[in-house]
């Protein structure tokens, strides 16, 4: 009888111990790999330098980075990478007279979810040389876009177009049709990490793509926080 009681006690202790084991050992173990790191887009070059992983020398990789810029926002402030140091950036192309108004509304919905997050900045870059701060202000006011959180940028096409093609890796075509300016460009939202690398492209009018963007902003924030913890 006593032997039976001991067996019952051991079984009970084992049952109670299993959840603790799962929580304190297995969960932290798997939590380290709970998400897959986002890809890095653009040309990659294998460097002549190395880093060490568990004693093994791994060649460093030089990734494509979006170059510095100097564009003016809706309140006539000049923005560049220095003003965005350490920020995750979400950027899209637009122009004020565009018939596709849905893009601004979609960006607004996403931006509102990160209004209080200091790590995230939103940029909308105009492809129209006739868009100036003074005529973008009415648009940004209507959207509730606050400078310093969601900036609407404009600049000379000699700077803007090479930045789009060589930096963001999107195409842009500007031509005249019946006396009116027409613009054809990549209608995508781009996610940049705080090292100015492209981590994702998302169709600006596709609901599934926008949901993916929202998820991957969170992944990138987690990646940055993990890198800070690791001292990188």
* Residues 163, 159, 165: CA angle, nearest 5 degrees: 25
Query: HEC string of the chain?
Result: CHHHHHHHHHHHHHHHHHHHHHHHHHHHHHHCCCCCCCCCCCCEEEEEEEEEECCEEEEEEEECCCCCCCEECCCCCEECCHHHCCCEEEEEEECCCCCCCHHHHHHHHHHHCCCCCCCEEEEEEECCCCCCHHHHHHHHHHHCCCCCCEEEEECCHHHHHHHHHHHCCCCEEEEEECCEEEEEECCEEEEECCCCCEEEEEECCCHHHHHHHHHHHHHHHHHHHHHHHCCC
Burial class, 189, CB count within 10 angstroms (exposed 0-12 / middle 13-18 / buried 19+): buried
Q: For residue range 128-174, what is the model confidence (pLDDT) as tens digits?
A: 999 999 999 999 999 999 999 999 999 999 999 999 999 999 999 99
What are the residue ranges in the chain where pLDDT is below 50? 4, 10-33, 231-232
177 beta partners: 180
Q: Which neighbouring-strand residues pair with 63?
A: 44
Q: How many whole angstroms separate alpha carbon 219 and alpha carbon 213? A: 10
CATH of range 65-229; options 3.40.640.10, 1.10.3860.10, 3.40.50.720, 3.40.30.10: 3.40.30.10
Q: What is the pTM of this model?
A: 0.80
pLDDT at 45: 84
Q: What percent of the chain has pLDDT over 70?
A: 78
């Amino acid at each position: 009888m006593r032997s039976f009681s001991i067996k019952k006690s051991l079984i009970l202790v084992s049952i109670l111990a299993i959840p603790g084991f799962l929580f304190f050992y297995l969960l932290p173990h798997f939590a380290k790999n709970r998400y897959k790191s986002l890809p890095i887009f653009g040309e990659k070059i294998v460097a002549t330098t190395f880093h060490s992983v568990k004693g093994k020398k791994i060649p460093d990789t030089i990734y494509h980075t979006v170059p510095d810029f100097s564009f003016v926002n809706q309140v006539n402030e000049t923005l560049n990478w220095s003003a965005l140091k350490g920020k995750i950036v979400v950027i899209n192309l637009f122009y004020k007279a565009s018939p596709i108004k849905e893009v601004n509304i979609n960006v607004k919905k996403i931006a509102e979810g990160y209004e209080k997050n200091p790590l995230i900045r939103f940029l909308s870059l105009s492809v129209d040389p006739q868009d100036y701060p003074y005529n973008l202000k009415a648009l940004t006011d209507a959207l509730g876009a606050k400078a310093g959180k969601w900036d609407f940028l404009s600049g000379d096409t000699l700077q803007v177009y090479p930045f789009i093609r060589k930096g963001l890796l999107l195409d842009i075509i500007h031509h005249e049709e019946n006396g009116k300016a027409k613009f054809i460009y990549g209608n995508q939202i781009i996610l940049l990490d705080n090292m100015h690398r492209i981590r994702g492209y998302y169709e600006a009018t596709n609901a599934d793509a926008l949901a993916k963007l929202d998820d991957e902003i969170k992944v990138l924030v987690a990646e940055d926080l993990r890198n800070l913890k690791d001292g990188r």
